[in-house]
Amino acid sequence: MSQKLAFADDHFHDECGVCGVFGHPEASNLAYLGLYALQHRGQESAGIVSSDGKELYVHRAMGEVEEIFQPSVLAQLPGSLAIGHTRYSTAGDKALLNAQPIMIDCNKGKVALGHNGNLTNAAEWRRRLEHRGSIFQTNSDTEVIVHLIARSQARNLSGAIGDALNQVEGAYSLLLLTQDELYAVRDPRGFRPLALGKLTTPGGFVSWLVASETCAFDLLNAQYIREIEPGEMVRISKSGIESIHFAPEKPHQQCIFEHVYFSRPDSIIFGRSVNESREMLGRLLAQEHPVDADIVVPVPDSGVPAAVGYALESKIPFRMGLIRNHYIGRTFIEPSQAIRNFGVKLKLNPIRGLIEGQRVILVDDSIVRGTTSRKIVRMVRE
């Protein structure tokens, strides 16, 4: 009778959001707020692990950050260290099983780990590790990393992390939490972003923050310090911040989609403003593909900066000709027979009077497969 709408938006979705806090009496509260600012990077599940210096505490659940971390839940996550993770839905996936941070007990003690990225040799390593007697409880690449850490002969954790990461290939921005340390690591190619921030309380007390995007720092009134560098492992402990280069840098391969649509425009990613990038792409498009038209209309929300750029460059007026409905949730179910082919209409509606009889330049963030774009164009044409 009814069917779940697949909001195929033609976009890749490999991104997750991570956020870490060191040295703040309300670490899990801050991690929660950081995740809330990173919610656009994943709405399927979220989790926080905190430490009070003795124990690790964990809560992971399906849903959005705000629903999951009610005050009663946050109260169960004490301590001055915390890491959080928010995850995008992947079809066909054992969802809760794969929620992060994962938390394990091994010969290096209790370790929690939140991972944004994908390993290219995870399947191979999984086979090899299983062969040696390892067991796997999730489907995620991340479990490979913790096994390699546990099996490393290195004498300390930072050595073991380095050992492990030198054996895997692919993209990772990682946060690791122990009883009293926070590690922030980025792969040698720097595929996914990870930024370091600093929060100074009125009393002059300093806490350290790490987050996928700097918009998390803005919400927390924290200061953006710098990117974690490709191939760098930052270890934050009571003795301060230590930078370890666990691997030689490789040719950088920063994920272009971070600037195109993953990240929020108010974030600084790979050291550069996302909004500026998108505006610039719009300007370049206007230079490379000038079109004679009456108005420039963005596909909101992610298409707005590029449309602004296109309009600025081309001197063709910017108009908000498509309206987005933000009330659509993850669970919208199409009542089947009534109206066929809602297509993109549940999300977007053109302003007829504005568009009618006009030559419209429609600017979206990107075209991947183009099926959604085609639907939007058809809707606008009608």
- Of residues 91 through 130, those in contact with a second copy by CB under 8 A are 94, 97, 102-107, 126, 130
Which residue from 64, 187, 227, 232 is in contact with a second copy, where contact means CB under 8 A? 64
**Helix (H) / strand (E) containing 111:** strand 109-116
| Residue 305 main-chain phi, psi, to 5 deg | -60, -40
Please list every residue from 155 through 214 that binds a second copy, using CB under 8 A: none
Reference 207, options 30, 24, 81, 52; nearest CA is 24
Catalytic: 215?
no
Could you give phi then psi for residue 377, rounded to 5 degrees?
A: -60, -45
Query: Rounded to whole angstroms, how far apart are CA atoms 208 and 190?
Result: 21
Q: By C-beta, is 81 or 189 nearer to a second copy?
A: 81
Q: Smallest gap, in angstroms, from Cβ of residue 231 to a second copy? A: 25
d(CA 215, CA 213): 5
The CA-based diameter of the chain, rounded to the nearest angstrom, is 72
Among 332, 370, 371, 378, binds a second copy (CB under 8 A): 332
Q: How far is the CB of 325 from a second copy (least distance, A)?
A: 7
Strand partners, 285: none
DSSP string, 178-210: -SS-EEEEE-TT--S--EEEEEE-TTS-EEEEE
Nearer to a second copy, 243 or 325 (CB): 325
For tokens 């971070």, what's the residue?
A: 258
Residues 33-52 that bind a second copy (CB under 8 A): 33, 36-37, 39-40, 43
Query: Cβ of residue 216: shortest distance to a second copy, in angstroms?
Result: 10
30 binds a second copy (CB under 8 A): yes
Selected range binding a second copy among 64-72, 114-122, 166-174, 176-184, rule: CB under 8 A:
64-72
> Which residue in 14, 169, 180, 218 binds a second copy (CB under 8 A)?
218
> Taken in order 252, 258, 263, 265, is the CA torsion positive or negative?
positive
Sign of the torsion angle spanned by Cα atoms 82, 126, 258, 265: negative
Contact 301, 9 (CB under 8 A): no
Minimum distance, C-beta of residue 170 to a second copy, in the bound complex (Å): 20
The answer to whether residue 339 forms part of the interface with a second copy (CB under 8 A) is: yes
Among 6, 54, 91, 133, binds a second copy (CB under 8 A): 133
- Is residue 63 at the binding interface for a second copy, with CB under 8 A as the rule? no
Binding part of the chain for a second copy, among 6-14, 46-54, 190-198, 216-224 by CB under 8 A, reads 216-224
Interface residue with a second copy, options 54, 91, 131, 357 (CB under 8 A):
131
Q: Does 357 bind a second copy (CB under 8 A)?
A: no
Q: How far is the CB of 248 from a second copy (least distance, A)?
A: 26
Output 191 or 215, the one with its CB closest to a second copy. Answer: 215
CA dist 87 and 73 (Å) reads 19
CA 283 to chain CA mean position, Å: 26
Min dist CB 177 to a second copy, Å, is 15
| Cβ neighbour number for residue 382 with a 10 Å cutoff | 8
Using CB under 8 A as the binding rule, the residues of this chain from 253 to 312 that contact a second copy are: 264-266, 268, 273, 275-276, 301, 304-305, 308, 311-312
Task: Label each residue of 23-54 as H, E or C.
Answer: CCCCHHHHHHHHHHHCHHHCCCEEEEEEECCC
Burial class for 257, CB neighbours closer than 10 Å (0-12, 13-18, 19+)? middle
Binders of a second copy among residues 310 to 329 (CB under 8 A) are 311-312, 317-320, 323, 325-329
In degrees, rounded to 5, the angle at the alpha carbon of residue 366 between the alpha carbons of residues 194 and 173 is 15
Q: Should residue 85 be labelled a site residue for a second copy when binding is judged by CB under 8 A?
A: no
Binding range to a second copy, per CB under 8 A, among 71-79, 165-173, 244-252, 362-370? 71-79
Cβ 367 to a second copy shortest distance, Å: 21
Using CA atoms, how far apart are residues 369 and 382, in angstroms rounded to an integer? 22
Minimum Å distance from CB 76 to a second copy?
10
Number of shown-chain residues binding a second copy (CB under 8 A): 87
* Residues recognised as catalytic: 16
